[in-house]
Amino acid sequence: MRKVLIVGAGQSGLQLALTLLEHDFEVTVMSARTPEEIRDGRVMSTQGMFGPALQHERDHGLNLWEEETIPFDGVGVSIAAPDGSRMLDWVQKMDEYGQSVDQRVKMAGWLELFEERGGQLVIHGVTTADLDKLASMYDLTVMAAGKGELVQLFDRDPSRSPYTTPQRALSLVYCDGVETRPEHPDFKAVRFNIIPEVGELFMIPCYTVTGNCDILFFEGIPGGPLDVFTDRPSPDEQLRRILELMRTYLPWEYERSRNAELTDQGGALAGGYTPVVRRPVGELPSGAVVFGMADVVVANDPITGQGSNNASHCAALYLEEILARGDGAFDRAWMESTFEKYWTYARHVTDWTNAMLAPPPPHVLELIGAAGQIPAVAKRFVNGFADPTDFQHWFMSPDKAAAFLASATAAAS
């Protein structure tokens, strides 16, 4: 029986661990926190998962909260005008619904499921020295914790990492009491609100430790008016500031959120990080190698909501490649080859995300504006959240955008 060590208890590491158990691998997961500590702790992120990623969970019986989680059926885009009105506003349903389950709920539940299914769970923080001793005991060691000392084992890939500083100041709260958007009271949608030259606000339906709720999530351009959380305010003060910013810049979203209350005192988070692509192989002092996955090797800004989806796709592909390896060694060459297969997907997410962080070029503004008039344009944009590889064919270049718009306009008329 082949032995795999996975360090980190997030979406990618636990999905890989649970699916490896189905194929008679001996799997050990090392987590710095117990399920109870995760469940009772602070939120770790936003998350929105779309059709293909949700299907990975269904395929392996990991969709433990699908029935009680209220889905979001679409994505809506609004652009704020200087006077507080909306210069653009539209919403479009996706072909498949998405869902957001608080990682406190999911990761705590998956850790418990992992033990129930026969996995070995070790609760312990891991240092480089620890990992150096442990790696020789396993056929494969996977690093799935995207933060902390161990990430430094993986070198930044400058050819794939255009940024050296955070591109957004992030602040979010999980809330009860947010009313439904009056424009579509019969279904939920992720609302993407753009404040030109200031930042973005996302409104995301979510399932958390207290039940269904909404996430209010600001992405502020560093140094701008949304970058006001560096003093680490209390959760209640953070909510107050977020609502005040909404009242100033996005009054239509403030109106339905004015009675919002925190779901719990752990339901707030602020900070930022630099988007980066790292090399997939980390070398330990002994010369042993460890394999990075998901956020360890491809960490994008959350502006496109792809972190959990990337993690899910990475875990699915790594599972496939591990099984295909048979009795072969999980050596450096295999790790690099496997990552490059993942990169054929993740590169399109990275390109799209980086494009959304930059001031929009004229062809993107034209596409987003046309989406309010031509349903086919809106449909292709919102379905791109489920399949970001499609954006290369129509969104990323002026020529392809013009050809698609001409075709969509002709079909609509």
What is the percentage of the chain residues whose pLDDT exceeds 70?
100
Does the pLDDT at position 358 exceed 90?
A: yes
Per-position DSSP letters for 308-351, written without gaps between them: HHHHHHHHHHHHHHHHHHTTS---HHHHHHHHHHHHHHHHHHHH
Mean pLDDT score across all residues of the chain: 97
Does the pLDDT at position 312 exceed 90?
A: yes
Residues 6+ apart with CB under 8 A from 326: none
Domains of the chain: residue spans and CATH: 3-46+103-163+276-356 (3.50.50.60), 72-100+165-271 (3.30.9.40), 370-412 (no CATH)
Per-residue pLDDT, averaged over 345-353, amounts to: 98
Q: Residue 146: its pLDDT value, please?
A: 78
Please give the span between the terminal C-alpha atoms of the chain, in angstroms, as a whole number: 62
* Of 91, 295, 59, nearest in space to 193 by CA: 91
Tokens of 297: 């090797």
Q: Residue 147: its pLDDT value, please?
A: 81
Does the pLDDT at position 149 exceed 90?
A: no
Does the pLDDT at position 89 exceed 90?
A: yes
Does the pLDDT at position 373 exceed 90?
A: yes
How many angstroms separate the Cα of 139 from the Cα of each of 16, 25, 36, 52, 78? 15, 10, 30, 30, 50
Percentages helix, strand, coil for the chain, rounded to the nearest 5?
40, 25, 35
Q: What is the rounded CA–CA span in Å between residue 244 and residue 242?
A: 5
* pTM for this predicted structure: 0.97
Q: What is the pLDDT of residues 159-213, one digit of tens each?
A: 999 999 999 999 999 999 999 999 999 999 999 999 999 999 999 999 999 999 9
Q: Is 412 left (phi over 0), alpha (psi -120 to 50) or beta?
A: alpha
Q: Residue 112: its pLDDT value, please?
A: 98
What is the percentage of the chain residues whose pLDDT exceeds 90?
98
Q: What is the pLDDT of residues 49-88, one digit of tens each?
A: 999 999 999 999 999 999 999 999 999 999 999 999 999 9
Q: Which of 75-79, 123-127, 316-320 has the lowest mean pLDDT?
A: 123-127
Q: What pairs with residue 96 in β-bridges?
A: none
